[in-house]
Amino acid sequence: MLTLGLGLALGAAFGALLQLSGASSHTKIVNALRLKDLTIMKLILIAIGVGLVGVHLLDLFGLANMKVKELYLLGIILAGVVFGVGFAISGYCPGTALAACAEGKPDAWVTVVGGLCGALVFAFMFPEIEEHLLVVGRYGPVTISGLIGIHGLWIAAPLGIVCIWLAMRLPEPGGA
Amino acid sequence: MKKDVPDRYETSHEDARPVFPWWAGGIGIGLVLIVAVGLVEPIGVSGQYVVLDGVLLHSVLPDVASRSPYLAKTAQGWTLATYEFFFVLGIPLGALVAAMVTARFRTRVVPIEWKRRFGSNPGRRLVWSFVGGFLLLFGARFGGGCTSGHMISGISQLAISSFLFSAALFISAIITARVLYRDGGSQC
């Protein structure tokens, strides 16, 4: 019960932040991908910068519950390409579509329905996909720091600062 | 000095005007991630589409649902009462409250940039929204995560798969957007 409440609260905070910062707006996303308005890129970069430093500080004290995703070279690239096409066509990602649904955007509702169908089709295709595609270049859940063999903070701190710096350097909309 | 915020956007459109500046939204999302990693686990959204699929299918056709090992594993116990699902449930809830409180709840079928390029036919927009959503979640489950799980959570953990997924995603999305919106010829 407590964990459900916590989930709902964190999710609500996430959804509210997406809404308030314009990440759930089709216009903002499409113009980011058209490289006309980089607000969303700036937002993602600073979120990653803060995340990198924070998560690895937690990890330094043994407090981070990490969950690293598996690397399978061919599959990950193909998946990213498919996702990217869907991202540009719909103008939403799986999370922001849900936020846009709640602000009364019917095209986001349809995106979510399409997403449920896509996820279901994938679920039934999974055995074949796993057998043929996920085996190519499969390395398990590897991280950069794990590969080199040092604590993540050594990479996360400078990389996080670079992300935040880059976020500040990218132009604001209206400048162009 | 620059003019006031609303005038800075050449297309003043109802859903294009954020309340928070990018840095506030970004830092906020970073903090949500840190709290989530500290208390439970990194954030993720796309897997819960599979969970909802699984639970719905299991309630109508339990045999068919059980036949997919992927579905059975992801929607473990065929239940929605999990931390992960409630996190995803919270997203529209938080967005709704945020939109209401800031008086930015507005409905429209065809978004402005789409209308400019493809006209105001709602059927056309909805069909392509479906196709887009389908590819979005197919790709996300194929890659094991979406913008939240791979890009924000994954890169923050220095996961190599997440760097690769994000790079492929952005290259593909930027090319698709250029082709779709015919920006190729212009110099922007």
pLDDT at B10: 41
- Residues in chain B with CB shorter than 8 Å from the CB of A146 are 158
- Residues in chain A with CB shorter than 8 Å from the CB of B43 are 10, 14
Q: Are the beta carbons of A69 and B150 separated by less than 8 Å? A: yes
Contact A30, B112 (CB under 8 A): no
Q: Are the beta carbons of A15 and B159 separated by less than 8 Å? A: no
List CB contacts of A126: < 8 A, sequence separation 6 or more.
B68, B69, B70
CA distance B63 to chain A (A): 13
pLDDT tens by residue, A18-70: 999 999 999 999 999 999 999 999 999 999 999 999 999 999 999 999 999 99
pLDDT tens by residue, A69-121: 999 999 999 999 999 999 999 999 999 999 999 999 999 999 999 999 999 99
pLDDT at B185: 54
Q: Does B147 reach chain A within 8 Å, measured CB to CB?
A: yes
Is the complex ipTM more than 0.90? yes
pLDDT-derived band of residue B184, with 50, 70 and 90 as boundaries?
A: low
Q: Are the beta carbons of B128 and A142 separated by less than 8 Å? A: no
pLDDT at A109: 98
Distances in whole angstroms, Cα of residue A123 to Cα of each of A20, A48, B58, B147: 33, 29, 13, 19
pLDDT tens by residue, B87-117: 999 999 999 999 999 999 999 999 999 999 9
Q: Are the beta carbons of A79 and B102 separated by less than 8 Å? A: no
pLDDT-derived band of residue B17, with 50, 70 and 90 as boundaries?
A: confident
Q: Which of A83, A85, A143, A155 to mutate to test the interface with B (most CBs of B within 10 A)?
A: A83
List CB contacts of B176: < 8 A, sequence separation 6 or more.
A33, A84, A85, A87, A88, A89
Over range B65-75, report the average pLDDT: 96
Average pLDDT, chain B: 91
